Copies of this chain bind each other. A is one copy, B any other.
Amino acid sequence: MPTKFNDAVKNWKLLVAADIVVFTFCDSELKVLLVKRKYAPGVGKWAIPGGFVRETESLETAALRELKEETGLEKEGYLEQLYTFGDVARDPRARVISVSFLVLVNEPEKIKLKSTDDATEAKWFSVKKIPELSFGQSHKEILIYALKRLRWKFEYTNVALSLLPEHFTLSDLQQIYETMYNDKVDKRNFRKKILSLDLVEPLEQVRQEAGRPALLYKAKSKKLKMFARIY
């Protein structure tokens, strides 16, 4: 008889949560979406949006459902599973195992964030000014992990394209890299590299702001592509 399975069912006491770290880029800053908690623990404090996975839905489905329920955010560009945090004491209420996700959205100014049943407020925070978070260190740990992974993806993939609108200039793209690396990048070398990677194609439109009009580009594909190698 399958004793281990029976044991496990008898002791059915684990909860699985999906937590979603949503990044966007706006006002020359990388921002993350947080919600103000309505319920214990941590009422009134900010937290990473998330909630419990139901028996009948996949992890991704749960993540997107929770995200919508808590922030009103519906259609995202990029979604990736990050890591599963399972320390025994993460949540004071019960043993909760959290599967975390990374979501990237572009054009945040077009998104209406709603106050909802589960959170009194949802708001973008610059990653340089994160408020105190509920759930002790555990949400902070998730956020730090997400940031690390995102920076890494910038170095090795075309993921930056998911933070830009359909049409963008090479300077827009460069600015995202500069923000991400927290460093200036040489314009000529940057353009040479990006164009040589064949990631974008020029349109026949320009965008006019201050100064000389800038040629607009679009992504050839937003499918994740990887680069480089050790040996």
A binding-site residues for B, Cβ under 8 Å = 1-5, 7-9, 11-16, 39-40, 51-59, 81, 83-84, 86-88, 93-95, 97, 99, 118, 154-158, 177, 185, 190, 193-194, 197, 227-231
Establish whether residues A5 and B57, one from each chain, have CB atoms under 8 Å apart when the complex forms. Answer: no
B-side contacts of A86, CB under 8 Å: 16, 53, 58-59, 99
> In the complex, A18→B154 CA distance in Å?
30
CA distance A64 to B92 in the complex (A): 25
> How far does the alpha carbon of A158 sit from the alpha carbon of B230 in the complex, in Å?
9
CB <8 Å contact, B231 and A5: no
Cross-chain pairs A/B with CB under 8 angstroms, 17 sampled: A2-B40, A4-B118, A7-B52, A9-B94, A11-B54, A14-B53, A16-B16, A16-B86, A53-B86, A58-B86, A58-B87, A59-B86, A84-B84, A154-B231, A156-B156, A190-B231, A228-B230
Chain B residues with CB under 8 A of A230: 154-158, 197, 227-228
Q: Which residues of B contact A1 (CB under 8 A)?
A: 39
User: Given contacts A12-B15, A59-B86, could you give 19 more A-B pairs where the C-beta distance is less than 8 Å?
Assistant: A3-B39, A4-B39, A4-B51, A4-B52, A5-B39, A5-B52, A5-B93, A7-B52, A8-B52, A14-B14, A53-B86, A55-B88, A59-B84, A84-B84, A155-B231, A156-B156, A156-B228, A158-B230, A228-B229
Tell me the smallest distance from the CB of A87 to a CB of chain B, in Å. Answer: 6
Residues of B near A14 (CB, < 8 A) are 12, 14-16, 53, 55
A40 → chain B closest CB, angstroms: 6
Task: Assess whether B156 is in contact with A229, with CB atoms less than 8 Å apart.
Answer: yes
Q: How far is the CB of A21 from chain B (nearest CB, A)?
A: 15
With both beta carbons as reference points, the residue of chain B lying nearest to A3 in the complex is identified as B39
A12/B11 in contact, CB under 8 A: no
